């Protein structure tokens, strides 16, 4: 797996309907979609969720290759989850060897778990791909606004989350540059046992930490020079406002959750 395969936190500018949606709408859609995803049961419900997400990807014009490339870092987790579900789900075994057994229930559980994780990660990717960090910060702050009454630092929390997402691609690019430089000096990150590979990472981690702290200091200085302060009195260049497409999206998301719950109670598949 190459570092360039990690696409979480990247933003791809565009002028599609998905890009133009209010960030609060997209955040609420993701929450409702996750609720529907964990409520779903059966092929029909998962097929509906897959169709909805496929339509959203098509409208956003985000390349499918980009999404599939972003899946590579979590491929190990998906495979491991599938194996555990296949061999450790109780039921009538169709194959057994000592304490290992494969059941029909295990195969179905593994299939639905893989589908659930894939749809969950893809939906999250679509949010970051189509929403800039600044808009994501504003949307989170607006949604969590009621928590200010109980003295929760909503603005600071939203800003930290967005900065963390924004710096993921930057740190990945920096790591790739450092690895290339260290390999040019004779460093070997691929051969040897686990302990040797861990020791080989030291020439990579030290300059990476130094670079991360330097970037954080530069960001702090830049914010101070611009007299930045959060909380009350802070103005925004773009004011968030719900439009007709936002209301339609929210209503559609609520209907999706209701349909999935209904299918869970009535469908046989």
CB atoms within 10 A of CB 22: 22
Rounded to 5°, the CA angle 64-68-72 comes to 165
The residue among 208, 205, 133, 213 whose CA lies nearest residue 171 is 208
List all residues 6 or more positions away from 98 whose beta carbon is below 8 Å from its beta carbon: none
pLDDT score of 231: 62
pLDDT tens, the chain, 269 aa long: 455 556 666 788 888 999 999 999 999 999 999 999 999 988 899 999 999 999 999 999 988 888 888 787 788 888 888 888 888 888 777 877 777 788 888 888 889 989 999 999 999 889 888 988 778 888 888 888 888 788 878 877 877 877 777 777 777 778 878 878 877 777 776 676 667 777 777 777 888 888 888 888 888 888 888 777 766 666 666 778 889 999 999 999 999 999 999 988 775 55
Q: List 101's β-bridge partners, or say none.
A: 96
Q: Where are the alpha helices (DSSP H) in 61-132?
A: 64-71, 75-88, 104-130
Tell me if 119 sits within 8 A of 53, measured CB to CB.
yes
Count of helices and strands (H, E) across the chain: 11, 2
- pTM for the structure as a whole: 0.78
Tell me if 95 sits within 8 A of 134, measured CB to CB.
no
pLDDT score of 246: 92
R_g of the chain, CA atoms, integer Å? 22
Q: What are the residue ranges spanned by the domains of the chain?
A: 13-158+240-269, 166-231
pLDDT score of 248: 95
């Amino acid at each position: 797996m190459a570092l360039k395969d990690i696409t979480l936190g990247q933003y791809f500018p565009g002028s599609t309907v998905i890009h133009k949606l209010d960030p609060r709408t997209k955040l609420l859609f993701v929450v409702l979609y996750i609720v529907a995803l964990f409520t779903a049961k059966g092929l029909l419900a998962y097929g509906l969720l897959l169709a909805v997400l496929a339509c959203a990807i098509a409208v956003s014009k985000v390349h499918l290759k980009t999404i599939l490339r972003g899946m590579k870092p979590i491929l190990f987790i998906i495979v491991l989850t599938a194996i555990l579900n296949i061999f450790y789900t109780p039921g009538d075994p169709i194959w057994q060897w000592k304490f290992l057994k494969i059941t029909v229930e295990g195969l179905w559980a593994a299939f639905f778990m893989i589908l659930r994780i894939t749809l969950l990660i893809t939906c999250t990717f679509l949010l970051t791909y189509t929403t800039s960090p600044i808009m994501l910060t504003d949307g989170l702050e607006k949604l969590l606004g009621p928590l200010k009454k109980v003295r929760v630092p909503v603005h600071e929390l939203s800003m930290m989350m967005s900065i963390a997402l924004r710096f993921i691609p930057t740190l990945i690019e920096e790591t790739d540059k450092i690895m290339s430089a260290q390999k040019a000096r004779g460093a070997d990150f691929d051969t040897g046992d686990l302990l040797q590979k861990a020791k080989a990472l030291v020439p990579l981690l030290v300059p990476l930490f130094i670079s991360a702290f330097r970037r954080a200091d530069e960001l702090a200085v830049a914010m101070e020079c611009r007299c930045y302060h959060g909380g009350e009195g802070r103005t925004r260049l773009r004011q968030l406002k719900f439009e007709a497409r936002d209301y339609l999206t929210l209503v559609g998301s609520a209907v999706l959750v209701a349909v999935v719950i209904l299918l869970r109670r009535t469908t046989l598949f």
